[in-house]
Structure formats: C-alpha cells, structure tokens
A and B are shown apart, each in its own frame.
Chain A
Amino acid sequence: MSYFLARRIAGFVLTLWAVSIVVFAVMNVLPGDPALTILGLDSTDEARAALRERLGLDAPVVQRYLAWVGGALRGDLGQSYSFGVAVSGLIAERLPLTVSLAISGMTLTVCLALVMGLTAAARHGRAGDWAIMLFSQLGIAVPVFWLSMLLVLLFAVKLRWLPPGGFPGWSDPVAAARALVLPTVALALVQSAVLARVTRSAALEVMRLDFVRTARASGFAPGHIMWRHVLPNALVPIVTIVGLQFAGLVTGTIVIENVFYLPGLGRLLFQSIANRDLVTVQALVMLFAAIVVTANFLVDIAYVLIDPRLRAGRA
C-alpha cells in the first residue's frame, strides 16, 4: 500500500514538473512583445528595453524558468502586466468562485449520471432505458454555451426565477448560490450525459456477474442490489471517466464564466489572453493543468479505496 502510494506521489510530482516545462516553453516562444503590449505602439525602444529588463525578460531562458518555478513554489506568481498587481492576488480573489462552480458542477454531474445510468441499466432494453439514452445523446450533442443561453432565456428572462448572470459576491450567500444555479446546471447537464452512458454500460457489465444473482436469491430489493452491489463494482470505470471529465469541467468553467459574467478564473484567463498578459496566462494555465493532474492522482487513490484486491496486489 505505502509502496503504491509512494509511486503514485512520485508520478504526480514528475507530471507536474513536466507540465511546468511545457507551459513555460509554450508561453516563451509565443510571438508578441509584452513590453510593447504594456507600453503601447508609440513607446520608444529605450523604454521597452528598460521594461523588459525590469521584468527580467532579457535573462537566459533557464534562469527565467527557475525563477518562475521558485517563485511559484513560494506562492509568488509574478506581477500581472495588465492589472498591475500580483497574479497570486488576482487568483486568490477568483479561486473560490471557480472552485465552487467546479465542485457544484461535478457533484450535480455525478448525481444525475448515477441516477440516469443505473435507472437505464435497470430498465435495460425497455422504454425508460431508451428515453434516458436519447436524453443523454442530446446532452452530448448540445454545446455548453448554447445550452447556457437557452437556460438563461427560459429561467431568467421568461420565468424570472433566477438571475441571468453576474455575481453579487459572497457577503449574501443566498444571492451567491442563486447566481450559481444556472451555471451549475449548464455544466452538469452536458457532463452528466457522457457519464450516464458510462455508468449504464458499467452497470450492465456488473449485472451479468454471479454475485448479483446471489443477491437476488437472497431476496434483496432491486434498488438495494443496484446501489449496494452493482454500483460499487461499476465504480472503477465511472471514477476513471470522472477524472477525465474534470479536465472538461475546468475548460467548461472558462466558457460558462464568460456566458454568465462570473468573475472567476476562467474569465480572468479569457481577459488575460486578450491583454497578452503572459505572466497571468502562464500562471493560470499551470494552475488549470495542476488541477487536472491532481484530479487524476485522486482517481488513482480512489481505485485502491474501492477495490480490496488492488490493495493486496500492490502492497
């Protein structure tokens, strides 16, 4: 167990390191002079050179990379060109919103997907199965920004139940939660469509196994058998897809935050790209990558928690 854990942690750290190199390399071969962007087209060569020196852009690449990583490890992500403040401060302000959105989106995704997937599996080949699979096919086909606009038109403009966008801040938790309802639903409907299909086929696979027959012969109710015997055994493929979907969810928040005018990391990334704010973009891309790598690390840990056979095999 501890050997397995040590290997996973080593893999996790190595992956993050590789990601940091890739992110840094990509950002530093991009065309566009940050000094020109900040100072404007009518700035003098001398002024731009001075700014480049102040930002450390004229140092050798390796030295800049080490400075960036070293700073990031201390929590210093550099100064944003366009906002003129520390990037870490920009991120800290917006992180709670994006994290809340990601967590609520993922939670709703998993709940919807499990209910839809298990219900479809239980009604395999019958009308309920077809209806759920048709619904999930729609969910897969529909782009998230278009679904978001439909939701806004219906629930905000027509019915006026929920705000169409914007974020009132955390001081009023009820208003904050109401502002997150539509974005969460938009994210989850699309994500759960895929996950419901995975859940259904994983459950059908498990339902063929002998121990399900044993449970039935023991007189257990179908719902009990589904949730307590079939689902746990179907979890490994489900958790794998959840880990992969986390990447989709993070990119999904970029789109969603722009559609709903939510001041989160996705919106910050969008603005920073528009401003050629390389330092901020670099920090955010690294952060998003780190979130995805962490999610997949947690999935690896989850496998072992789910299946005692893996604990024995890799101890």
Chain B
Amino acid sequence: MIALHNLTVRTTGGHVAVRGADLAIQPGQRLGVVGESGSGKTLLALSMIGMVPEGLQVDGQVLVKGETIAADDERAWRRHRARTMAMIFQEPMAALNPLVRVGDTVAEPLRLHLGLDRAAARKRALDLFEETGIPQARRRLGQYPHELSGGQRQRVLIALALACDPDLLIADEPTTALDAQVALRITDLLVRLSQDRQMALMFISHDLAAVSRTTHDIVVMYGGDIVERGQTVRVLSDPAHPYTQGLLAARPSLMHRERRLPTIPGTVPQLFALPPGCRFAGRCARELPQCVGTRPPVVATPTGQAACHLPGAGQT
C-alpha cells in the first residue's frame, strides 16, 4: 500500500538522518516503530505523508498505492493526505486550531474533501466523536479545544484523522504527552479502530510496552538505520540486535525491583558524529573491528531481520 525504497533523508549540512530505509505497509497491518529521539522514526513517518520539513533532502522512492510520488510534489501528496494516509502527532494541546470549535474542525475535511453539506458533516462528525469514545459527544462538538482535556483532544485529533476513512493512520508518539491511564485507553482505541476499519496503523513510540500492546510487527531504529525488524512479540522476546537487547534490558520490570537498571553506555551521538559503519558502534557490547567502518548487512535472524555483523542472543 505504502512502500519506501532506499529512502534517505539528509540535512542541509549533508548529514544523514535516515539512511537507505526500506519499508512496506500492508493494508490492515499494525506496525510499531521504536527508537530514541533522533533515531529518524519521525522523519520516516513524515516521508510517508510528504511532510518532511523544508530544507531536508529526500532521496529514494516513495510508492503510494503503486504510484511513485516525489517528496516535493505537494499536489500529489495533497490528493492522498486524509484519504490514503492520515497522521496524528505527539502534542494534542497545540495540534488543534484554538479558535475553531472541535466539531467544526472535524467537519472541515468532510466538507472540503467529501463535499458534505453542513448538516451531513455535523452528523458524521458526531458519529466520529462517538466512535472515538468522546463522552457527551453532542455537547463536545460545540466546544473549543481549551475546554477539553488532553486525552479528549487526542481523541478529537483521531476523529479528524479518520474523517475521510484513510487506509493508513500514522500515530507519532500519540500518547507521550498524556498520563499513563489515558495513554493506555488511547492505544487500545487505536487498535480497536484499526481492527474495526481494516485500517493499517503505524505506531511510533519509544515506549516498548505500548508498542507491544498495539502492534503485530515492529521496526527498531537507531541513528537513522532500521536495525531490526520482525513480529513484535518475537522480536521483543528474543531480540537479535545488540541495540534492541539493550533497550529491553533498560526497561523497568516488576520482577527485578531491587537491582539497578542496566543502561546502554553513552548517549545517542549527534548526526554529524555518527560512525560511518554501524551507527551503534562505540556503544555496542559486542563490537567487532569492522563495525565502525563497514555498514552491517541485513541478515535473517530467528525472529526476523537485523542489520548487524554479529547478530544473536546476547546476555540480556
């Protein structure tokens, strides 16, 4: 449905923010993208909706329903946004126009893209509010964003994204700004909507628990590379890439309350300081001499694929 081939995103300074990513999303698929901030996961998502920020250079191929679309072909992207793919963002507080009633915000794409009249759009907006679990939906339609809680605003944004019945919903850290209880309900809502509507879901997060709860497949990103991929459950139970292993080990667990959490040594390097070979070189516990200079090949692992010179079970 949407596929990226050898997608590379460079900054104005020529630094590589996403390096040769290949990714395909099938109809109805629920794909999680995990990685730290700066790993390129948001740029990967933005390139799938044609919204990579101006000034960044995009190379490689983006296929939408079989059609290749250039990164700067705004007209072509506009045909697909809201209808083929929709996106919700991290910060629901600022993502809604503060001067517009939320009901009108959701009605806007219905009127502009689907040509519904005022009454029909309002009726659809009400349905969408109810579908996304907004309490007292009818009253909420007439309220302004500042009158809603964070969770309700994120639900409004989801309703807006669903308005034109997209094939893919991209959710970029949709729960990061919300408290844990609300976050849990939003992730469950996204899963339910994806199942009910046969809609693909790309769930971007640094929260492994949320991703494992939400998705069937997973892609792990580090320093602009996709370092591991496979079925979510299997990758997370038996990771092959040292970075994924480190991520999992650094997760707090109820079983081991007393011991200090292991951490991955060092911090994510700046884009300009990334090693030319494996991006994880320098922080990796199993580093080989060739890791710094040679980009690791993508190899099959018991649970999927990993880009590593020495994949395998580590001491997690």
Across-interface contacts of B49 in A (CB, < 8 A): 217
**Do the beta carbons of B109 and A219 come within 8 Å of each other?**
yes
**Do the beta carbons of B51 and A307 come within 8 Å of each other?**
no
Cβ of A306 within 8 Å of any chain B Cβ, yes or no, is yes
For B94, the closest partner residue in chain A by CB is: A210
Q: Which of B23-47 contact A (CB under 8 A)?
A: none
- CA distance in complex: A220, B86 (Å): 12
For B74, the closest partner residue in chain A by CB is: A222
Cβ of B16 within 8 Å of any chain A Cβ, yes or no, is no
- CA distance in complex: A219, B77 (Å): 8
Known contacts: A211-B96, A224-B112. The answer to whether A219 contacts B80 by CB under 8 A is yes
Q: Which of B94-141 contact A (CB under 8 A)?
A: 94-99, 108-109, 112-113
For A215, the closest partner residue in chain B by CB is: B97
**Do the beta carbons of A211 and B95 come within 8 Å of each other?**
yes
For A224, the closest partner residue in chain B by CB is: B112
**Do the beta carbons of A221 and B98 come within 8 Å of each other?**
no
- CA distance in complex: A209, B96 (Å): 10
Cβ of B157 within 8 Å of any chain A Cβ, yes or no, is yes
Out of B86, B98, B99, B144, which one reaches A218, CB within 8 Å?
B86
**Do the beta carbons of A214 and B157 come within 8 Å of each other?**
yes
For B78, the closest partner residue in chain A by CB is: A219
Out of A213, A219, A309, A312, which one reaches B82, CB within 8 Å?
A219
Chain B nearest CB: distance from A207 CB in Å? Answer: 11
User: Number of contacts between A and B (CB, 8 Å)?
Assistant: 72
- CA distance in complex: A218, B83 (Å): 9
Chain A nearest CB: distance from B172 CB in Å? Answer: 10
Chain B nearest CB: distance from A12 CB in Å? Answer: 25
What range describes how many residues of A lie at the interface?
Answer: 20 to 34
Cβ of B160 within 8 Å of any chain A Cβ, yes or no, is yes
**Do the beta carbons of B86 and A210 come within 8 Å of each other?**
no
- CA distance in complex: A273, B153 (Å): 61
Cβ of A201 within 8 Å of any chain B Cβ, yes or no, is no
Across-interface contacts of B74 in A (CB, < 8 A): 222
- CA distance in complex: A308, B144 (Å): 7
Known contacts: A217-B87, A219-B113. The answer to whether A309 contacts B144 by CB under 8 A is yes
Instruction: Give me 29 A-to-B residue pairs in the complex whose CB atoms sit less than 8 angstroms apart, sorted by A's number.
Output: A209-B94, A210-B89, A210-B91, A210-B94, A211-B98, A214-B95, A214-B96, A216-B51, A217-B49, A217-B82, A217-B89, A217-B161, A218-B86, A218-B108, A218-B160, A219-B83, A219-B164, A220-B108, A220-B112, A221-B78, A222-B74, A224-B112, A229-B97, A233-B97, A233-B98, A309-B98, A309-B146, A312-B146, A312-B147
Binding site for A on B (CB under 8 A): 49, 51, 74, 78-83, 86-87, 89, 91, 94-99, 108-109, 112-113, 144, 146-147, 157, 160-161, 163-164
Binding site for B on A (CB under 8 A): 209-211, 213-222, 224, 229, 232-233, 306-309, 312
